[in-house]
Amino acid sequence: MTARLLDGAALAASIRTDMSRRAAALRALGHPPGLAVILVGSDPASSVYVKHKVKDCEEAGIRSILDRLPADTPQDALLARIDQLNADPSVHGILVQLPLPPHLDAQRVIETISPAKDVDGFHISNAGALMTGQPRFLPCTPYGVMKLLEHAGVALAGAEAVVVGRSNIVGKPQAMLLLQASATVTICHSQTRDLAAHCRRADVLVAAVGRERMITGDMIKPGAVVIDVGMNRISQGPNAGKLCGDVDFDSALEVAGAITPVPGGVGPMTRAMLLVNTIEAAERAAAAQCN
């Protein structure tokens, strides 16, 4: 058996087309959507991510504001800039690219963003709203995963879902969304005993731990749906330096029923859902002005 590939790039392209249509409708009403992105420092990976996000905005008809700040930017200066963007009615979404330089308090930065403009879905009020099933914004990566599963026709009600990773950005919100879809959810992490046994129970396995190829084919239930959130570089061997996920793709491909590739799986969906959140923020702002 060879697994079916879940093509995140193709689905993301379809979503971007829909967001372009909704952005055009907002512009026609005199409410052009706007996203502000703040990049502190010159981390190469972050710079690439931001470049793609800005390009996505331009193609979708969303005005983008890119603030490139030096790595030694004081925290007070960063928070003051966020306050300016909070007060700017032409800005509907604010994204501060993570990770931040170590002298900056990432949680304080996130909490300074207005919850109504927190298109990453990281603010504590948005995280709490997700916990209670009434989210304003869903974190982009878990949101993208759910859209991929929906598009693939994966039945989640009653399914055994295992999430490997417990971060606030992916693991925890992913578990909440799967639970809200009526899956039975297990969260695994670095202290989990017998990780392989937990993974082998999963009808849906989400790997979001940030360790290259740690989930191997013998840890996967035959026919399972495998979602690989990881984005790593192969550390050694003839393919050293190439992108890979948290799943050993070659061995998993022979066991799983469906699997996301890396790249081309979850990554494009994360960026697409950022556009969705930004458009929804702009639509809410436009509706509020009309009332």
Q: What residues act catalytically? A: 53, 97, 120
Distance in angstroms (rounded) separating the CA atoms of residues 45 and 26 = 32
Distance in angstroms (rounded) separating the CA atoms of residues 118 and 126 = 8
The two tokens of residue 100 are: 């931040």
Q: What are phi and psi of 161, to 5 degrees?
A: -115, 135
**CA 95: distance to chain centroid?**
12
Which of 233, 284, 230, 288 has its CA nearest to residue 259?
A: 230
Which of 258, 250, 205, 272 has its CA nearest to residue 53?
A: 272
The two tokens of residue 264 are: 């081309």
DSSP letter string over 60-124?
HT-EEEEEEE-TT--HHHHHHHHHHHHH-TT--EEEEPSSPPTTS-HHHHHHHS-GGG-TT--SH
